[in-house]
Amino acid sequence: MTEIFTGSFTQQEPIPEEAVEAALVVLRHGRLHRYNVVPGELGETALLEQEFAAQTGAKYCLAVSSGGYAMATALRAVGVNPGDPVLTNTFTLAPVPGSIASVSARPVFVGVTEDLTIDLDDLETKLDQARVLMLSHMRGHLCDMDRLMQMCDAAGVTVIEDCAHTMGAAWHGQVSGRQGAIGCYSCQTYKHVNSGEGGLLVTDDEELAAKATMLSGSYMLYERHLAAPGPEVFERIKYHTPNVSGRMDNLRAAILRPQLRDLDRQIERWNERYFEIEKGLRDTPGLSVVDRPEVETFVGSSIQFLLLDWSAERVNEVIQRCAARGVELKWFGGAEPNGFTSRYDSWRYADSAPMPKSDRILAGIVDMRVPLTFSLEDCALIARIIRAEVSAVYQS
Ligand SMILES: *Cc1c(COP(=O)(O)O)cnc(C)c1O
């Protein structure tokens, strides 16, 4: 009998009851705007920032309207100007080059390795082309962060980290988002905490924190923040920093706080599912799983494997056959952008030279989300289906 998977790849878990209760409190008092507080009240957004700063060990934290907004704000705060080149990953998602384009700067793409991380050798040759690297920890794969930071520090390149897929991850025990000058996280439904939309930004640099806060639309109410620098820092920058409104609101903050407290448990659940799928895929002829470095603590909220040097037709056949059995795979090698997958050469607003080494890898990357609504049995079944269909096409 042919096994079929009938679950949904886009179904999230419900918002925890504790978060629903916290949301109802905000709805009942009606003070949704972050600066709308009664005397003595600490707003949900300010508390969220204080707690996320503590959780990541950062001095400062700012909550904003989306992950993409956090990244664009980071670029503005570090002083990227229109026309400036900004280094970034070839293998990433559209909001990453999009954040660079949003400040009228110019992405300079850096290649991808078979580990699905940024190619540090390629980066080395391009470090003299830009002052800033927007480093995307795409699909939660961390590169050798020690080597990357050494290289960027030596070249005077400021690193901004896109941690949309690494909230809760770490390199050598160091929390992801804390090696670069600024770390940016997304709280969007498909990431590691769910407020529909939302973003967080962390930094230890007081001036960057003050600028980001002003940029996010703090008017002159920055003293209502609990994880921002003192007023003297704002005095230095407030006349020169525009308001580009993109604040977080108290309703979203209220539902995020309990979720962040629960993050470690959720990560364990993601990783159980990830390892179950990985176990089922290992040693499938023609398929390579991506081995994770021992010093990387990751969050298995998605899984990737490589069908390296397969023709486009055969990869497509695998995708179709798996889809027919209920398993939704995404392919980063497709010529046309499709759903959330797109390639550097489909972002035609940004010039790019051909990157044959990266093209070979992108052409083989198959990607799958791992929602927590999957049971471990679901994961084992999904792996059996992928294994069977990859084997069938490989042997044909
Ligand atoms: C989702 C995502 C973002 C942006 O987050 P939004 O909150 O959707 O703006 C940035 N980078 C990557 C890699 C993402 O997947």
pLDDT tens for 77-126 read 999 999 999 999 999 999 999 999 999 999 999 999 999 999 999 999 99
> How much is the pLDDT for 346?
87
Same structural domain for residues 242 and 270? no
Structural domain ending residue among the three candidates 218, 236, 261: 261
Q: Which domain holds residue 270?
A: 263-395
Q: Kindly report each contact of residues 108-113 with a partner whose C-beta sits within 8 Å and lies 24 or more positions away, as own/partner.
A: 109/344, 109/350, 109/352, 109/355, 111/355, 111/357, 111/358, 112/358, 112/361, 112/362, 113/143, 113/361
Q: Which of 261, 286, 318 is the last residue of a domain?
A: 261
Write down the mean pLDDT value for the chain: 96
Residues with CB under 6 A from ligand 1: 66-68, 92-93, 95-96, 136, 138, 162, 164-165, 186, 188, 199
Q: Tally the domains of the chain.
A: 2
In a domain, 99, yes or no: yes
For the CA of 186, the nearest atom of ligand 1: 7
Q: Please report the atom of ligand 1 found closest to the CA of residue 199.
A: 7
**CA of residue 96 to ligand 1 center, whole Å:** 7
Ligand 1 mean position to 299 CA, how many Å? 16
Q: Mind listing the pLDDT tens digit for each residue in 292-325?
A: 999 999 999 999 999 999 999 999 999 999 999 9
pLDDT higher than 90, residue 136: yes
209 and 306 fall within a common domain? no
pLDDT band at 254 (very low <50, low <70, confident <90, very high): very high
Whether 7 is in a domain gets the answer no
- How many angstroms separate the CA atoms of 17 and 386, rounded? 35
d(CA 154, CA 395): 49
Contact call for residues 254 and 41 (beta carbons, < 8 A): no
396 Cα: distance to centroid of ligand 1 (angstroms): 38
Single out the residue of 180, 184, 172, 117 nearest to residue 151, CA to CA: 180
Which residue of 162, 185, 193, 304 sits with most ligand 1 atoms within 8 Å of its CB, as the best mutation to test the pocket?
162
> 82 and 182 share a domain?
yes
Share above pLDDT 70 across residues of the chain, in percent, rounded to a whole number: 100
What confidence tens digit (pLDDT) does each residue in 338-347 have?
877 888 888 9
Nearest CA to ligand 1 atom 7: 67
Q: Please check whether residues 226 and 355 belong to one and the same domain.
A: no
CATH number for the domain spanning 351: value is: 3.90.1150.10
pTM score of the predicted model:
0.97
Q: Is the confidence at residue 284, as pLDDT, over 80? A: yes
Which residue, by CA, sits nearest to atom 1 of ligand 1?
164
Q: Same domain for 72 and 193? A: yes
CATH code for position 34 = 3.40.640.10
If asked whether residues 197 and 286 sit together in one domain, one would say: no
25 Cα: distance to centroid of ligand 1 (angstroms): 29
Tokens of 226: 């609990």
Spatial CA neighbour of 98 closest among 118, 74, 61, 68: 68
**Are 267 and 251 members of one domain?**
no
Question: Is residue 233 domain-shared with residue 129, that is, in the same domain?
Answer: yes
